[in-house]
Amino acid sequence: MSDKRFYGLQAPLTVRTAALATGAALVHGNDTLNLRDVAALEMAGSDEITFARGARHLKGLSSLSAGLCFCTKDLKDTLIALGTQAVAVCPRPDEAFNTLASQLVLPRQAHFTETSISPDAHLGKNVQIGAGACIGPDAHIGDGSIIGPSAVIGPGCVLGQYCVIGAGAVIGFTIMGDAVDIRPGAVLGEAGLGVVSGELGIVSTAHFGIVHLGDAVRIGANSTVDRAVFGQTRIGARSKLDNLVQISHNVQIGDDCVLASFCGIAGSSILGNDVMMGGRAGVADHIKVGTGVRIAAAAAVMKNIPAGEVWGGHPARPLRRYMREQIALRDLAAKKGASE
């Protein structure tokens, strides 16, 4: 279900129309069923469109209630067995979904052509707004918050009390707590990088989610936090991100984490509480990093890390192992040099 503060629904369409519009073959379900919204497969309700990415995507699911699911032929029986209301088969379900969903659910946008501060924005007490800042309709700015010059707060965004938004920061599709500190030039809530291959080349993946920041989160200058494809990209309370950090769609960061400059977390990865990452450390997509983990600077994390461990290297492994290996390599090369 998309968040109605940020997304507007178009007129609903029937399962039959959805299949026809995408050229998919309806192999199961009541074709007069009305579809109103979109959601991730495991979250989709009976009036929502979704798609299945592959057999692994279905692993571990015990029931589904999606209104219409696009899938490849091999998945249809499983989807029907799991309870999907209607199933449509096509060679590229992600493309079919992407095209249809983009027409059914529209992100709210403000172009600020006439006025920079919408008369429908809600400004708390003692809010200070810098020259040239833009605030969209239905945005809520908490008491005592400060919006820097030329910053942009998109439609529907919610800022708690005493937030500080730096000059030129661009915030969209975002809900944040109190005392959040966004440094200049940070960009929050853009659609992440995702592509869908179609007949005419690649197109960008449509996004239907938001960004959620806990109290006292700090986002450094020129850092970027993408909104989720579905649901929320989340950063927990008091977590501090340095300058030039990238947080991809659907990432979940716990409380009290510290990420130094150039850290990057790829899509859907999860960090527990109290994780510390040195500069330029990266985490690949769909990785879990446990509570209290320390990741050395310049590490490239490509596996899950259990709670409390210290990892480093490229690819990252336990830091002591990495250091032993570097010593072994040095000795190997020295021995070889000596014997030549």
Residues 170-189 that bind a second copy (CB under 8 A): 170, 181, 183-185, 187
Strand partners, 177: none
Edge-to-edge strands, sheet with 270-271: 122-123, 140-141, 158-159, 174-176, 210-213, 232-235, 252-253, 270-271, 288-289
Strand partners, 158: 140, 175
Binder to a second copy among 203, 307, 310, 319 (CB under 8 A)?
203
157 binds a second copy (CB under 8 A): no
210 binds a second copy (CB under 8 A): no
Return the C-alpha torsion angle 227, 21, 104, 93, nearest 10. Answer: -30
Residue 63 and residue 45: Cα distance in Å, rounded? 11
Nearer to a second copy by Cβ, of 220 and 231: the residue is 220
Nearer to a second copy by Cβ, of 241 and 289: the residue is 241
123 binds a second copy (CB under 8 A): no
Of 23-31, 57-65, 232-240, 287-295: span binding a second copy (CB under 8 A): 232-240
Cα dihedral across residues 188, 53, 78, 92: positive or negative: positive
Binder to a second copy among 15, 216, 228, 289 (CB under 8 A)?
216
231 binds a second copy (CB under 8 A): no
Residue 302 and residue 287: Cα distance in Å, rounded? 7
Number of residues forming the site for a second copy (CB under 8 A):
83
**DSSP track, 85-147:** SEEEE-S-HHHHHHHHHHHHEEE-----SS-SB-TT-EE-TT-EE-TT-EE-TT-EE-TT-EE
304 binds a second copy (CB under 8 A): no
Binder to a second copy among 212, 242, 268, 272 (CB under 8 A)?
242
Binder to a second copy among 6, 7, 173, 262 (CB under 8 A)?
262
Residue 8 and residue 37: Cα distance in Å, rounded? 9
Binder to a second copy among 54, 91, 202, 304 (CB under 8 A)?
202
Binder to a second copy among 10, 34, 103, 204 (CB under 8 A)?
204
226 binds a second copy (CB under 8 A): yes
314 is catalytic: no
C-alpha 242: how far from chain center = 19
139 binds a second copy (CB under 8 A): no
φ and ψ of 95, to 5 deg: -70, -45
234 binds a second copy (CB under 8 A): no
224 binds a second copy (CB under 8 A): yes
314 binds a second copy (CB under 8 A): yes
Minimum Å gap between C-beta 278 and a second copy is 8
Residue 105 and residue 48: Cα distance in Å, rounded? 11
Nearer to a second copy by Cβ, of 20 and 310: the residue is 310
If DSSP codes are grouped into helix, strand and coil, which group holds residue 45?
Answer: coil
Which of 212, 249, 286, 314 is flagged as catalytic? Answer: 249
Of 29-37, 79-87, 137-145, 323-331: span binding a second copy (CB under 8 A): 323-331
243 binds a second copy (CB under 8 A): yes
Residue 290 and residue 309: Cα distance in Å, rounded? 8
> 38, 104 in Cβ contact below 8 A?
yes
116 binds a second copy (CB under 8 A): yes
Site string for a second copy, 32-51 (x = CB under 8 A): --------------------
Residues acting as catalytic residues = 249
